[in-house]
Structures are given as structure tokens and as C-alpha cells.
Structure 1
């Protein structure tokens, strides 16, 4: 399945909106998602008569596209972290095919780190268990010494939301470049294919589910932002009303105090006292 892009712009202009992220930066394509299908896994072969105590199998660990598309249009490098017992357990590849081939006797978990060409995108980190034996078996038996390889791989999709214009162009070039093949012919021959109609329908269903989930998350974030803004506005209104109430209450108290003082002076200076003196004089 090829890399594809989708524009969720609500209008019918046919072009996504762009948002400039910084000085000299490529603008981001708003309401746009790009889906990059990848496959990561391992294929192991029993060495048969060439096997010894420490080298029973030859295996290849890889990251590839489902149908051989060139992933280097979007991938800057792939870093494989092997078991510490291997010489140079950290293998860094900057060009396809992104694969490591070794010989060994035991199964282990490897870490795969995919670094994208856009520095603003986070690296994709995967963990993969390298399997040497068929499911349910952990050692060499007559059932594990056949020439049939042990294939253990997974399909996944990396989705980029609102990518930059430059990165978007890079990702969309993968389908027009020559196909990539493994350095190991026997590995290439045993790669599972993803061209069946049922697989295609399942992938489309998975993509739709993912897009619905992303849209739901965006809606929830938008509603949360709106609710936060409403709360902040209500707090501002309440604070303003409280400050206004405090100011008007202070002015009212000040005016009342002045009136009371004046009345006290009238009583003490003459109003009541003068009347009392006049009454006594008349008698």
C-alpha cells in the first residue's frame, strides 16, 4: 500500500491552509494527514550442516514498505539496537534497504529507531523480537531444521498530522521512485505481500478508524479550549464586578462619615445648648 495524503479542509478550495511555523521554516499544511505504511520484522534461516554451537541461524532484521516503495524519501536513518553480545550492537543505516543481517543462536528483542527527514517530527521507536523457531518452540528439533524460514513481521502505519509543505512533498515521492529490494535474495523471496483485496480492505478500515479517532481527539481538544476560555472570561467578569463593588462601597462610607461629624458639631456648639440657656433665663 502506497503512502497517501488526505486533506480535511472543510471548504472546497482543494488546497490546504498553511501555517508558518517560524523564520525560514516551511509552512505547515493545516487539516492534512499523510499516512506512511511500513513493515518491520525479521526472517530467520536454519544453517543446517553449516551450523555450530554459536551460529545456528542466519537472520535479517528490517524496516521496509509493504510493496517495495522507497522509504528514504521520508526516512533520514534507521538505527538498529541489537543484543550487546554482537560486535557493534548499534547499527545505523542512512540508505535503503534498511536491514541488518547476522548469525546467532538465540532469540532476543531488538529496538528499531526511525528518524524522519523533518527534524520537527519525533522519531518512531519500535521493539521487535527476533524469532528463530516456529511458534511454541525454543530450541532445535527435527521440526525446526527444515529449510522453511521463520518470518516474524508486523504491518504498521505512521500518520503525520499537519506536516510541513517540504516534508509532505518528500513523502509523496516514494511511489514514483524505483522499488527497493533486500540485499539478501532469499529474504526478498520470502517477504509477505500486502496486495490481496482483503488485506487492502482491512487496511482501509484501519485507516478510517484512525482518522475518526484523530478527529474525535481534535474535537475534544477544541471543546476543552472553548470551555477554558469561557471559564476564564467568567472569572474576569467576576473579578471586575468585585473590584467595582469595592470601590463604590468605599466612596459611600466616606460620605456618611462627613455628614455625622457635621451634625455632632451643631449639637455641641449651640443648637441644644442655646435652647437650654434661654429656657433658664425666662424663668
Structure 2
């Protein structure tokens, strides 16, 4: 049975004024079964899902005195791990489709970090297509992101030091992974894997490559990392717990009976 890939998404737009607009969406697509997979004897893990939290977005800076009619902003569009981990373990390449007015508007990035930088003057929608390694999925995932150059309060002054940031969070979910795939990614910090029953006999875990021996693909030391937004699941759970506690306390407030008065009448 072929496994499925789907994405859970919510996004935040952080302008120069710090306002945010939440979004929600769910996309799903199936993995086709090719001849190689049919011939493969590699077992799939039934009722098991692995997920990869990602963030995609843009960060744009106003050029100030250097701005011209056709180059008022410099910006970067990217796909990164939600905790800035290397996504190369799952993503093979990313294709960014820019506005047709750009030279070579179809930009292909073959290795992490999956990003590109440009300059311009107008906002437009960027199509982002992610391609995965063959043992994960042979279908691509299409994402769409609106490049934002100007803060929400357009009457306010623009800043050359503080960018306009717009990011969206996705969880890419792969269901029924093969045993070899599970073994390959189970120790990788970018991938969330479930705890399997003790009777599962998986291949030995694949050791992680020595990051000192190759170029790091994570974005922890990225020049824009100070502007990246935090999509920590732990923070969200803490906020939900605080909200539940507040609701519980409101329900437990004592009810005053001082205005009830005495009940008239007698029982004989």
C-alpha cells in the first residue's frame, strides 16, 4: 500500500509593526507506486507517521537612500527547518517560481539551505515546489507564499535595519514509512518520529554525518536567524495550558447570595 504525504499549516505575518495574521490550511497528496517499489521487499510500518516541521517565508529590507524605482527592497525567500535543522535529510531540491519580470524566474536550489535572494520593488506570489528523496515520496509538494515588502502600517516610516518578515509553518507528514527510511531518519533532529513497540526489529540506526566534514545545511547561524520567528510547539502548549487554567479559574469564582433575601412563608 503506498504511503501518503500531507501537510498541516499555519502561518504568521510579522510586519514592522509587529502585527500577526494567523492562517490555517491542510494539503494532502498520495504517493504513487512505481515498479521499483512493487519489487521492493522492504516492509512498511503500518499505522506509523513521521513528520517534518518546516517554515517557509520571506524577509525583506528597505534599501533606504540606495533605493531606486526598480530596486527598493532586497529580500530572501527560504524554506527552513522549524528549529533551523538541516532539511537535506528529506528534501532533495526546492524550486522557486518568481514573477515573470525577473530574469530566469524559475530558480532551482539543489541543496540546503533552500533559499534565494533578490531585489525589486513589487510584491507578488512565489510558488515553492519541494522535491523529496526517492525513499520518502515521488510526488512534489507545492506551496505558495506572498512576498511582503511593506509593513502593515504603510503610513509609518520604513526601516533599513528592521525587516518585514512573513513566515508560515507546515508539518509535512509521511505515513507508513519503510523500515529502512525510518532507520535513516530516526536520529535526525529535523524529523519527528514516534516511539515504536518493543517488538519492532528495525535495521540499525544510520549514524549522522559529521557536520564538521561537510558544509552545514542548517540555518542556526544564518545571517537572518535573528529575525526568524519561533514556532515552538512547546510554547504553543504552554499558551494553551495557561488559557485552560484561566477558564477553569473563572468557572470556580464564588457566586454571591447577598441579594437573595429571606424566603417568605411557613411550613405547617
Name the TM-score, length of structure 2 as normaliser. 0.60
- Counterpart in the other structure of 1:160: 174
1:134-190 Cα shifts (integer Å, max 9, x gaps): 1253xxx552245211000011101111012233334334316656127861x2221
Query: Could you tell me how far apart the structure 2 residues matched to 1:122 and 1:200 are?
Result: 32
Contact 2:85 2:220 in 1 (8 A): no
The unaligned stretches of length 5 or more in structure 2 are: 1-35, 190-207, 241-268
Structure with more helix by fraction? 1
The SS at the match of 1:95 is coil
Aligned pair in 2 of structure 1 residues 159, 196: CA closer, same or farther (>3 Å)?
A: closer
Deviation at 1:82, TM superposition (A): 0.7
Q: Does 2:132 align with 1:116?
A: yes
Alignment of 1:1-283 (within 5 A): 21-24=37-40, 26-118=42-134, 120-135=137-152, 137=154, 142-175=156-189, 178=211, 180-181=218-219, 185=223, 187-195=224-232, 197-200=234-237
Deviation at 1:36, TM superposition (A): 0.8
Aligned pair in 2 of structure 1 residues 166, 155: CA closer, same or farther (>3 Å)?
A: same
What's the C-alpha RMSD, in Å, of the aligned pairs? 2.7
The unaligned stretches of length 5 or more in structure 1 are: 1-19, 204-283
Aligned length: 181
4+ residue segments displaced more than 4 Å = 176-179, 200-203
Deviation at 1:110, TM superposition (A): 0.4
Contact 2:85 2:219 in 1 (8 A): no
Aligned pair in 2 of structure 1 residues 124, 196: CA closer, same or farther (>3 Å)?
A: closer
Aligned pair in 2 of structure 1 residues 202, 73: CA closer, same or farther (>3 Å)?
A: farther
The SS at the match of 1:30 is coil
Structure with more strand by fraction? 2
Name the TM-score, length of structure 1 as normaliser. 0.57
Query: Could you tell me how far apart the structure 2 residues matched to 1:98 and 1:174 are?
Result: 18
User: Structure with the greater relative contact order (CA < 8 A, sep ≥ 6): 1 or 2?
Assistant: 2
Contact 1:71 1:174 in 2 (8 A): no
